Amino acid sequence: MSVGLCRASQVAEFFPAVSPKIVVREARLEDCWEVAETHCSSFFPEYSFPLDFVLRVDRLAAMLSGFSIPNGCRRTCLVAVTGSSVNQTFYIGSEDFKIGGFDGKFSLNRGYVTGILTVDTVADFLPRKGPLRQRRTGIAYISNVAVRERFRRKGIAKRLIAKAEAQARSWGCRSIALHCDLNNPGATKLYKEQGFKCIKAPEGANWPQPKTSPDIKFNFMMKLLNTPITT
């Protein structure tokens, strides 16, 4: 009786990658809980059970029901995932079906969410235009950038930003903007390295800002999408 042995090449076929591969794509419905988990663990790390669970449920509900946007505007949530490949993933569902900005496709090999980012053209947090305070057009806005703690400093945020810029270009945007916490010099440095510049509000101007703690102060940063990154 012979005993079957697996060669190294055969083992590799069953376990194709020891180091997880990062893929950046649009979030799907199946990612919702991990997106909420990534968001809350990054922005509210001090909370413990049961409040942390309540925050995640609240975030999940907001993502699914609160993504209504004005006509003509666009919004999508991007995720960085490990353990899946665009070429090796089997999908169920349709790209045309979306709930709350999430792709309606389901994957049998979806991977694990390590980072998130939202990009839109809603212009809620952009300076209004003219005396009638009209919404700005042609400017995409990045928000909710978060990477799980054990995956930080691996270039994931840069890849999410690059994907957001590509998405904005596909929407016909000429520039992209964001707000960055003044007390987060690491994030400010990251955005500057990607070509963003700090824009100072004119004296007396009341520019909109993200709704967070009143103690948090922000840098408003912008980048022209045809501006190459200097190295």
Active-site annotation, residues: 191
Instruction: State the residue for tokens 């501006």.
Output: 227
Q: Specify the DSSP class assigned to residue 230.
A: P
102 strand-pairing partners: 99
Contact 121, 74 (CB under 8 A): yes
Integer angstrom CA distances of residue 160 from 50, 59, 77, 179, 187: 31, 20, 10, 16, 13
Burial 111-140, CB ≥16 within 10 A → b, else e: bebbbbbbbbbbbebbbeeeeeeeeeeebb
